C-alpha cells in the first residue's frame, strides 16, 4: 500500500525508480525530489494519521464500552479544529496553525476532564461523554464564528478545505514535528493493551479483577487525545476512519483489544494511504479527505453490516 | 482459623449515609453464606463494600486477616473474586477470552496471558462442565451458560473466596439448578462463597450460613437451620411465611 501510494500520482514513479532512488541513486534529480520531498512524506503522513485515528477509535470504543464511539467523542477534533482555523484567521504560518490546533485539542479534553471532576463524576463515563459533547459543541460554535469573521477571498476557502481534511501541504518538517506525539501516544496503549481490554467489562468488574480502572481509562484518554490532536493538527478533520476502521479490524481479530489495536492501526494506515492516493489522483484538484473517507467508508461499512457480521451484541 | 472474609460492626451506604448498620459476618473456606433480603435492602451495596469498590460508612473488613484498606486492587482480587448479576459487554468476546481476564491480578502491567493462563482458564471451564463452549461467543450463549462463564472467570482468578450477586436471579428453572449445583461443588472443593438470593428454598439448599437483612438492619445471622425460620423470614419480608421440612429433609418456604 505504501509503495503503491508512493508510485501513483501526477508524476508517475515506477517501482524500479523508487527502489533506485531509495538506494541512494540521484541520477534522476527530478524523480528524487518528487519522491523524497513530496511523495514519501505525504504517504508516510497518511499512514500515520490513519493509524493514529484508528488506534484512538479502537481504544475509545473499548474503554467506553460503546461500538458507536469515535475519537472525537471528548471534543478533541472540534477543539483542534477551532485552534487551527483561529490560526488561519490570525494569519499564522503553517507550523503555527498546527501548533495552535494541537494545543487547543489537548486543552479541550483537559477542560472536559476537569469539568467531569468538578461535577464529581470521576468514574462516571456518561458524565464525561456528555461534557465532551457540550464542550465540543462550544468549539463548533467557535469554528462557525471564525468562518463568519474570515476573509471570504483567502481565508474562508483555506478554512473550509482544512476542516474537510487534507495532506496536500505536508512536508518532512511536519512529519518530524508530529511523530513524537504519535509515538508517545501509541506506546502505552500497545504496552498495556491486554489490561485496557478488561475495561470493556465495566469499571466495577475490571476493578474486582485487580485493575485500577479509573487511572487506566485516564491514561487511555490521554494517549488517544495526544494521537488524535497530532493527527488533526497535521491533516485537518478527517471523519469516519476512527469510527469505521476499528469495526473492520474487529471482523478480522475479534473484540480482544490486545489483538484489535495493532490490526486497527495497520488497517487504518493502509486505508488512509489508499484514500489519500485517491484524493490526489482522481480529479485535477485535490479532493478533501473527509469527503473521500465518507464516500469510500460508508458503503463498505453498510456492506459489512449487510453481510451479517456484527461483532457486538444487539 | 483465619476467616477468608470477616466484617465487624459494618455499616454500608453511599456518600457517608448508611443503608444498613451493624453487620457482622464471617466466611470460612468451603462454606456458602447466603444473603437474603428484600429489594433495596442494600445487598449489592454490601457486596461492593466488601470488594473495596466503595468505602464502608463504619466498621472493619478483613480479608484473610488483613485490613481491606491496606490492600491494593490486585491483592484484593487475589483474595476475593466477584461474579456480577449478568455479563454485560457490547462486544462478542469468546467464553475463553472472558475467563482469561481472571488472570489479570496475577500478571504484570505489560503482560498478556500466555500458555499457563490459558491452561488455567480451560481448567476452570472444565470444572464447570462448559469446556466445549470455550470458543463460543458469549453473546450467543444462554443466560445460564453466561453465568457459568462468569463463575469460571472468578475461578481463574484463583481467589480463596467468591462473591456472587444473585447468581441465579435471571435464570430459568433448569439453569438455576445447574448453577446452584456448580456453586455447591465449588464450596465442597474449598472455595468460600458469599451469594445473595431472593429464594429462601435455594438459600436453605445451598447455604451453610445465612444472613438476613432488610431496611431495618440485620434480622438474623448464623447456621441455615437456625436462621431460616418462619418467624425470621416473616419479619424479613413483612409477610407471613411458613416453613416445612420435605420428605427429602429439605426446607421449603411458602
List per-residue pLDDT tens for chain B, 254 residues long. Answer: 789 999 999 999 988 889 999 999 999 999 999 999 998 888 999 999 999 999 999 999 999 999 999 999 999 999 999 999 888 888 899 999 999 999 999 998 899 999 999 999 999 999 888 999 999 999 899 888 999 999 999 999 999 999 999 998 878 888 888 889 989 999 999 999 999 999 998 899 999 999 999 888 899 999 998 999 988 998 998 888 888 888 887 888 88
Looking at residue A122, its pLDDT comes to: 54
Query: H-type helices in A203-309, by residue range?
Result: 203-208, 213-235, 241-253, 257-281, 289-306
Q: Where are the beta strands (DSSP E) in chain B?
A: 5-14, 17-27, 32-36, 58-63, 66-67, 80-83, 161-164, 192-197, 209-214, 217-223, 243-245, 251-253
A11/B contact by beta carbon, under 8 A: no
Contact yes or no for B71/A210 (Cβ under 8 A): no
ipTM surpasses cut 0.85? yes
Secondary structure string (H, E, C) spanning A289-303: HHHHHHHHHHHHHHH
Does A259 touch chain B if contact means CB atoms closer than 8 Å?
Answer: no
Cell triple for A265: 492501526
CA atoms within 13 A on the CB side of A99: 7
CA distance A79 to chain B (A): 29
User: Per DSSP, what are the bridge partners of residue B6?
Assistant: B26, B62
Question: Which of A66, A191, A201, A210 is the best substitution to test chain B (most B C-beta atoms within 10 A)?
Answer: A210
- Cβ-defined contact of A311 to B81 (cutoff 8 Å): no
Beta bridge partners of B23: B10
Q: How far is A43 from A72, CA to CA, in rounded Å?
A: 24
Lookup: cell for A5: 501510494
| Residue B143: predicted pLDDT | 86
- Of B89, B102, B107, Cβ closest to residue A200: B89
Angle between helices A94-118 and A76-89 (to 10 degrees): 140
Residues 6+ apart with CB under 8 A from B31: B187, B192, B193, B208, B209
Tell me if chain B has a CB within 8 Å of the CB of A141.
no
Instruction: Identify the pLDDT of residue B190.
Output: 92
What residues in chain A have per-residue pLDDT under 50? Answer: 313-314
- Report the C-alpha gap between A103 and B203 in whole angstroms: 59
A189 chain-B contacts, CB cut-off 8 A: none
Contact A253/B at CB under 8 A? no
Give B90→chain A minimum CA distance, Å: 5
* Angstrom distance (rounded) from CA A265 to CA A255: 14
Distinct helix (H) and strand (E) counts, chain A: 15, 0
pLDDT tens per residue, range A165-182: 989 888 888 899 899 999
Among chain B residues, CA nearest to A123: B53
Strand-pairing partners, residue B94, are B137
Give the one of B75, B92, B153 whose C-beta lies nearest to A255's C-beta. Answer: B92
Cα of B72 to nearest chain A Cα, Å:
8
Identify the pLDDT of residue A26: 80
pTM of the model: 0.91
Give the cell for residue B253: 418456604
**Ordered structural domains, chain A, with CATH:** 2-313 (1.10.3470.10)
Count the residues in chain B: 254
Which residue reads 480529479 in cell numbers?
A: A283
Residue A147 touches partner B, C-beta closer than 8 Å: no
Distance CA A168, CA A152 (A): 21
Distance from C-alpha of A23 to C-alpha of A20, rounded to nearest angstrom? 5
Question: How far apart, in whole angstroms, are the C-alpha atoms of residue B198 and residue B37?
Answer: 7
Amino acid at each position: 500500500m505504501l509503495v503503491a501510494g508512493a508510485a501513483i500520482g501526477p508524476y508517475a514513479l515506477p517501482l524500479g525508480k523508487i527502489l533506485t532512488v531509495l538506494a541512494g541513486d540521484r541520477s534522476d534529480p527530478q524523480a528524487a525530489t518528487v519522491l523524497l520531498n513530496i511523495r514519501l512524506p505525504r504517504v508516510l503522513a497518511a499512514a500515520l494519521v490513519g493509524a493514529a485515528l484508528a488506534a484512538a477509535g479502537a481504544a475509545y470504543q473499548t474503554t467506553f464500552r460503546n461500538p458507536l464511539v469515535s475519537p472525537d467523542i471528548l471534543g478533541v477534533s472540534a477543539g483542534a479544529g477551532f485552534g487551527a482555523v483561529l490560526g488561519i484567521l490570525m494569519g499564522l504560518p503553517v507550523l503555527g496553525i498546527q501548533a495552535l490546533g494541537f494545543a487547543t485539542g489537548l486543552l479541550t479534553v483537559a477542560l472536559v476532564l476537569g469539568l467531569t471532576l468538578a461535577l464529581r463524576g470521576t468514574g462516571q463515563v456518561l458524565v464525561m461523554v456528555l461534557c465532551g459533547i457540550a464542550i465540543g459543541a462550544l468549539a463548533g460554535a467557535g469554528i462557525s464564528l471564525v468562518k463568519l469573521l474570515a476573509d471570504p477571498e483567502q481565508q474562508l476557502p483555506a478554512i473550509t478545505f482544512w476542516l474537510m481534511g487534507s495532506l496536500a501541504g505536508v512536508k518532512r518538517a511536519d512529519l518530524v514535528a508530529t511523530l513524537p506525539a504519535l509515538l508517545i501516544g501509541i506506546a502505552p496503549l500497545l504496552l498495556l493493551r491486554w489490561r485496557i481490554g478488561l475495561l470493556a467489562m465495566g469499571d466495577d468488574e475490571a476493578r474486582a479483577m485487580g485493575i485500577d480502572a479509573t487511572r487506566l481509562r485516564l491514561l487511555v484518554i490521554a494517549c488517544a487525545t495526544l494521537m488524535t490532536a497530532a493527527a488533526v493538527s497535521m491533516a485537518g478533520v478527517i471523519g469516519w476512519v476512527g469510527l469505521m476502521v476499528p469495526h473492520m479490524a474487529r471482523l478480522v481479530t475479534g473484540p480482544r483489544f490486545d489483538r484489535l489495536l495493532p490490526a486497527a492501526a495497520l488497517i487504518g494506515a493502509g486505508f488512509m494511504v489508499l484514500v489519500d492516493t485517491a484524493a490526489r489522483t482522481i480529479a485535477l484538484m485535490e479532493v478533501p479527505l473527509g469527503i473521500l473517507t465518507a464516500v469510500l467508508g460508508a458503503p463498505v461499512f453498510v456492506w459489512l453490516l449487510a453481510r451479517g457480521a456484527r461483532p457486538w451484541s444487539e | 482459623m483465619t476467616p477468608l472474609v470477616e466484617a465487624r460492626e459494618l455499616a454500608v451506604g453511599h456518600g457517608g449515609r448508611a443503608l444498613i448498620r451493624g453487620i457482622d459476618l464471617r466466611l470460612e473456606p468451603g462454606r456458602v453464606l447466603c444473603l437474603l433480603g428484600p429489594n433495596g435492602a442494600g445487598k449489592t451495596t454490601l457486596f461492593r463494600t466488601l470488594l473495596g469498590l466503595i468505602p464502608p460508612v463504619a466498621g472493619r473488613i478483613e480479608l484473610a486477616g488483613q485490613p481491606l484498606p491496606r490492600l491494593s486492587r490486585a491483592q484484593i482480587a487475589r483474595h476475593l473474586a466477584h461474579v456480577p448479576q449478568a455479563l454485560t459487554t457490547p462486544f462478542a468476546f469468546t467464553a475463553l477470552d472472558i475467563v482469561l481476564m481472571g488472570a489479570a491480578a496475577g500478571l504484570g502491567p505489560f503482560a498478556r496471558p500466555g500458555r499457563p493462563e490459558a491452561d488455567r482458564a480451560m481448567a476452570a471451564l472444565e470444572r464447570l462442565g462448559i469446556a466445549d463452549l470455550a470458543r463460543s461467543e458469549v453473546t450467543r450463549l444462554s443466560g445460564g451458560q453466561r453465568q457459568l462463564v462468569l463463575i469460571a472467570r472468578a475461578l481463574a482468578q484463583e481467589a480463596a473466596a467468591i462473591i456472587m450477586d444473585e447468581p441465579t436471579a435471571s435464570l430459568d428453572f433448569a439453569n438455576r439448578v445447574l448453577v446452584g449445583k456448580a456453586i455447591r461443588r465449588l464450596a465442597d472443593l474449598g472455595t468460600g462463597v458469599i451469594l445473595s438470593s431472593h429464594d429462601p428454598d435455594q438459600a436453605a439448599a445451598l447455604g451453610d450460613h445465612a444472613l438476613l437483612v432488610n431496611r431495618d438492619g440485620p434480622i438474623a445471622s448464623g447456621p441455615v437451620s437456625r436462621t431460616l425460620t418462619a418467624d425470621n423470614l416473616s419479619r424479613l419480608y413483612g409477610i407471613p411465611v411458613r416453613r416445612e421440612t420435605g420428605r427429602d429433609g429439605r426446607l421449603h418456604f411458602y
